[in-house]
Structure 1
Amino acid sequence: MKQTLLISLFFLISIAVQAQTLKGRVVDAATNDPLEYVSVYLNTTTRGTTTNDKGEFALAMPAGTYEVIVSSLGYEPLVYTAPTDSMPSAILFKLTPKAQMLGVVEVQGKRDAQWYDNLEVFKENFLGRSWIAKGCKLLNPEVLTIDFDHSSGVLSVAARGPLLIENSLLGYKVEYLLTDFTYRTKEGYVTFEGYPRYELMQGSKGKQRKWEKNREAAYRGSAMHFARALQQKRLEQEGFNLRRLYRLPNPNRPTDEEIAEARAHLRANGNTTTIPDSISDILRRARLPRFVEQLDMNPVPYSEYLTLAEGKARLSFEQFMQVVYTGEQEEPAYVRSTSDFLKGATARKPTFQTSVFSLQADTVGVEPAGNFLNPLDVLFEGYWSWEKVGDMLPLDYQL
């Protein structure tokens, strides 16, 4: 007992020593006047503050590398990457007024039924469709500008101000500074970028216990859980199985040239003549997937994809990695979303949560808090791609 206590005390003291305080001022870039009530926070955490009447602030930071977000209504936000091991004693932030705010009168137009339909599509692909995400409420949808291009099938969403989200099942109020949202409906591909700030909701002891239970459920098996376990080389102990996944060209699918020629032949001859068996066969096999997958069932040694140096972790690998979390099964809503064409007894049963991820860069850094340094350098498929903002936890969350 004494030994355990001493180790725990040493760990707490180490964190306190490594923690830093970022100090600075925020001014108007044009006038150099101090800006009051500017929001300064660590991206995807509950840690934040606001400037005083002199534009000054002080923000405590745990050890690590974080994005400091400086945001105020009517100004372009600033993002400052701050590593606590080489942080300046003070910093001056200059905010630039947004161009559309300079003398522009906003005309409130009437939103039609299509806008509200697109809003629901946005919420499903931004907040999510899990049981936790269903408890999220977007409080200010009026700040959204939604555009859907029918020819390309691309849904684009922008926001004139931070999105205010209430997550009643996890007990968070979220202020999300959305910088980009693109949903390519034809490819089923969603990307979004932004900077959320979390605030703990107040509630009774009963609500607090329920929120803690739900937060743990959201954490278990998440990409954050995986990244933290990866840092400690504890994937198997934490319930993760990682295997290499290869995607190879499907030998049974015709080439793009063969498919184009077959379709040109069909257009040229119309439906008045009998389609040759060779053309019919090409068009039939054109519906086959482009790639076939091969899963290597052998465990992948950490040395083949992970490097740890001076407390910093980096990922580097080719092709794809499949991650199976054995601690929980898939949600029924996820099963339905992946097997809509199946009905009744033929519909598949939930199994362990399975995700696939790949790297879009040669190497990707992983922070101890459980975040990837450049999120767009990591592509998620499967279960992790299904979970959205409604399932996310702040980086300073701990079990």
Structure 2
Amino acid sequence: MKRLLFVVFLLLIHPHVKAQQFFTIGGVVKDATGKPLALATVFIDGSKRITATNDKGEFRFRDVEPGTYQLVVNMVGFYSVKQTVNVQNQHIVLNLSLKEKEETLKEVVISFDPRRAGYMALFIKNFLGTTENAAGCEILNTEILKFKENKKDNALEATSDDFLIIMNQKLGYKIKYLLRKFSYNRMSTVASYDGELIFENIEGSDQEESEWIENRKNAYKGSLMQYMRALFQGKTVDLNFITYQVSGTQTKLVDVNSFVKLIDSNFISLAFKNSLYIRYDSSATQVYQQGTHQFTSKMGNDGTLLRLYLKRATIDKKGSYVDFRSFLVKGYWGGKRIGDQLPFEYQE
């Protein structure tokens, strides 16, 4: 009886306390004929969550928080499949089908290609990045990369049939990246790539672990992930972000919270006109105290231009947006590559 009264008392003094909800993402993977596929790799893009299907083609991820996830299935001899999964208030059950690749003879390289070294240098610079964290990365299986010159678009393209294995010694992660396509336009010098990745912690000494913790903190500060999470929490200024709305060649200081609407306890929507210009600056609070109608024409290299590609963006509390097409990103965040990425499980 005393225990019951104590529980009731807690509920009365904390009426808004709600137990964290967790759900399951599971399902079956089959081939085009409906035959279950065993040992197919299933993972959640950008996370540490990875598993394999059993003899019945079944897989399951337990303890999944509400949010948006990209589920990826990959198996040798089949085309990989990616599906957006929106977890809200119930378990998710998926039926996924893989299409078998046509059998082709693997290309045999019988002579050294003098252009490959140049291709590789260009790929590493634009795929891993040029930051200190990127410099600490090494691709262990570069031989699986296939390069092609697209003469029509004056672009270098690259693909791979299997995971690229990347060791990031600066952040302490082993990354498996399933590269769908990489393209570097020689005229515009713009690089783009598409693929999915999975993180795994590297084991190290106590000193290495301490360095990785500090490096991860630095990589997180001022990142797109931190900004999106700050948006969800309504704390962009508290976390040192300054947001302007672009109008022609000028920018106007704005309260980005006015562009945010709460959908429920797990999702928000963001809608704004034109573009936002965002900087990470320790003086953010002071800047906002000076007034919300201040204009400036100064936009430095430390800022990011963010434009909505869709009418609005839906964002979850881990900083992910439901549709990957939501934003066009240029500037500081646009220059961040694989070498600076963190898994979405990361917390300060």
TM-score after normalising by structure 2: 0.84
Structure 1 residues 136, 35: closer, same or farther in 2, change over 3 A? same
Task: Check the 8 A contact 1:327/1:352 in 2, yes or no.
Answer: no
Structure 2 spans left out of the alignment, 5+ residues: 1-9, 284-299
TM-superposed CA distance for 1:207, in Å, is 1.9
Work out whether residues 137 and 169 of structure 2, in 8 Å CA contact, stay in contact via their aligned partners in 1.
yes
Query: Is the contact made by 2:310 and 2:325 (CA closer than 8 Å) also made in structure 1?
Result: no
The residue correspondences of 1:289-328 to structure 2 (distance < 5 A) are 293-296=249-252, 298-303=253-258, 305-311=259-265, 312-327=267-282
Is contact 1:165–1:174 with CA below 8 Å preserved after alignment?
yes
Offset of residue 83 of structure 1: 2.1
Is 1:357 the counterpart of 2:306? The answer is yes
Report the CA distance between 1:149 and its aligned residue. 3.3
> 5+ residue gaps in structure 1?
1-5, 248-292, 329-350
| Aligned-pair Cα RMSD in Å | 2.5
Structure 1 residue aligned with 2:101, among 95, 98, 103? 98
Match status 1:382 vs 2:331: yes
Q: Post-superposition shift, 1:150?
A: 4.8
Report how many aligned residue pairs link the two structures. Answer: 318
Deviations 1:336-392 (A, max 9, x none): xxxxxxxxxxxxxxx883221112222122221112222333122221111111101
On the 8 A contact 2:159/2:180 being kept in 1, the answer is yes
> C-alpha separation between the residues in 2 aligned to 1:382 and 1:141?
28
CA distance in 2, matches of 1:222, 1:136: 19
CA change 1:313–1:188 in 2 (3 A) is farther
**1:69 Cα offset (Å):** 1.0
Following superposition, the deviation at residue 237 of structure 1 comes to 0.4
Name the % identity: 28
Pairs within 5 Å for 1:193-212: 193-212=194-213
Name 1:158's counterpart in structure 2: 159
8 A contact 1:325–1:352 mirrored in 2: no
- Whole-angstrom CA distance in 2 between matches of 1:120 and 1:11: 55
2:68 aligns with one of 56, 65, 68: 65
Distance 2:153 2:26 in 1: 47
CA distance in 2, matches of 1:360, 1:316: 10
Kindly indicate whether the alpha-carbon contact (under 8 Å) linking 1:220 and 1:327 is maintained by their aligned counterparts in 2: no
**Corresponding residue for 2:344?**
395
TM-aligned CA deviation for residue 299 of structure 1: 2.7
| Distance in 1 between residues matched to 2:156 and 2:301, nearest whole Å | 31
Matched, 1:21 2:13: no
Judge conservation of contact 1:359–1:378 (CA < 8 Å) in 2.
yes
Residues of 2 paired with 1:10 and 1:149: CA distance?
A: 62
Kept in 2: contact 1:42–1:197 (CA 8 A): yes
* 1:25 to partner: Cα distance: 2.3
Tell me the secondary structure at the aligned position of residue 303 of structure 2.
strand
1:144-181 CA distances to partner (integer Å, 9 max, x unpaired)?
Answer: 22123356332222111121111111111111112222
CA offset digits 1:272-308 (Å, max 9, x no partner): xxxxxxxxxxxxxxxxxxxxx2222x333522x3222
1:254-333 matches, within 5 Å, as 293-296=249-252, 298-303=253-258, 305-311=259-265, 312-327=267-282
> Structure 1 counterpart of 2:75, which letter?
S
Deviation at 1:71, TM superposition (A): 1.1
**Alpha-carbon shift at residue 204 of structure 1 (Å):** 2.3
Contact 1:135 1:167 in 2 (8 A): yes
- Taking structure 1 as the reference length, the TM-score comes to 0.74
> In 2, Cα distance between the equivalents of 1:89 and 1:372?
19
Larger-gyration structure (1/2): 1
Determine if contact 1:326/1:352 at 8 Å carries over to the other structure.
Answer: no
8 Å contact kept, 1:229–1:235: yes
Match of 2:293 in 1: none
> Aligned partners of 1:157, 1:118: CA distance in 2, in Å?
9
Say if 2:250 is the partner of 1:245: no
- Corresponding residue of 2:46: 44
Counterpart of 2:107 in structure 1 is: 107
Other-structure match for 1:35: 37
The separation in 1 between residues aligned to 2:243 and 2:91, in whole angstroms, is 40
Task: Report the structure, 1 or 2, having the larger helix content.
Answer: 1
Residue type at the aligned position of 1:191: S
SS at match of 1:375: coil
Alpha-carbon deviation of 1:132?
0.3
Distance 2:190 2:315 in 1: 24
Displacement of 1:34 after TM fit? Answer: 2.9
Listed one character per residue, the Cα deviations across residues 24-58 of structure 1 (whole Å, up to 9, x for unaligned) are 2222223x333222111111001121122332222
